[in-house]
């Protein structure tokens, strides 16, 4: 079983903000595979599906970003999912808007949601997909930047990263993480030259 966890904030006011890219990717995959994200358990909303022959749980923690790991740990522990099969998707200011990057493992950087996940499950050894949201003009404005409502124009740019991340996750399930990294990380390098 794979857990695909999108990080974000649960309330209506946070929709279409940069910090909810993880939720948007989970919603996109759910829409593509007609998965209803209506079940509630372990401080999360989730749905189950078979995607590319793999049993998958699509999960949106409802604990707010900074406590995302609380929900993730409960799913990992209850279903005994190896950390290598927990795919976490989240926004990243260090990546160009409209792009995404897959990593097999690593630290949290400055992302509080990822800090929570790593702390709760006690490992950095899980794959993650970072959706590029670009950086604010003023570094001290990071909180307002990630929580700001997006214009239609900017969301359209970020949506490219959401689409790429969704396709990359499907490729990971079908052909493995190395294949997905070769396909999608290489695409980004070509596009940003």
CA distance 90 to 111: 9
Give the SS3 label for residue 155: helix
- The phi, psi pair for 51, rounded to 5°, reads -125, 125
pLDDT band at 169 (very low <50, low <70, confident <90, very high): very high
Say what the pLDDT of residue 14 is: 74
Say what the pLDDT of residue 186 is: 55
Whole-prediction pTM value?
0.88
- Please write the tens of the pLDDT for every residue from 124-155: 889 999 998 877 777 777 777 777 777 888 88
Distances (CA, A) of 169 to 144, 173, 178, 187: 29, 6, 12, 15
Cα 135 from chain centre: 18
Contact 145, 18 (CB under 8 A): yes
Q: State the DSSP code for 17.
A: B
| H helix or E strand, kind and range, residue 23 | helix 21-32
Residues known to be catalytic: 19
Say what the pLDDT of residue 191 is: 45
CA distance 184 to 89: 15
């Amino acid at each position: 079983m794979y857990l695909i966890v999108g990080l974000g904030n649960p309330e209506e006011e946070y929709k279409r903000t940069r910090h909810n890219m993880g939720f948007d990717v989970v919603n996109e995959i759910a829409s593509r595979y007609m998965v209803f994200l209506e079940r509630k358990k372990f401080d999360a909303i989730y749905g189950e599906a078979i995607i590319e022959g793999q049993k998958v749980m699509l999960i949106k923690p409802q604990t707010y970003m900074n406590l995302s790991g609380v929900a993730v740990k409960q799913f990992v522990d209850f279903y005994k999912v190896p950390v290598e099969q927990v795919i976490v998707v989240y926004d990243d200011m260090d990546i160009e808007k409209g792009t995404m990057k897959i990593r097999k493992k690593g630290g949290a950087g400055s992302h509080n949601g990822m800090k929570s996940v790593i702390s709760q499950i006690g490992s950095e050894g899980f794959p993650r997909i970072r959706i590029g949201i670009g950086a604010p003009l003023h570094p001290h404005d990071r909180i307002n930047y990630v929580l700001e409502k997006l214009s239609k124009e900017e969301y359209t740019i970020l949506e490219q990263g959401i689409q790429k991340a969704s396709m990359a996750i499907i490729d990971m399930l079908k052909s493995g993480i190395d294949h997905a990294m070769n396909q999608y990380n290489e695409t980004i390098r070509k596009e940003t030259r």
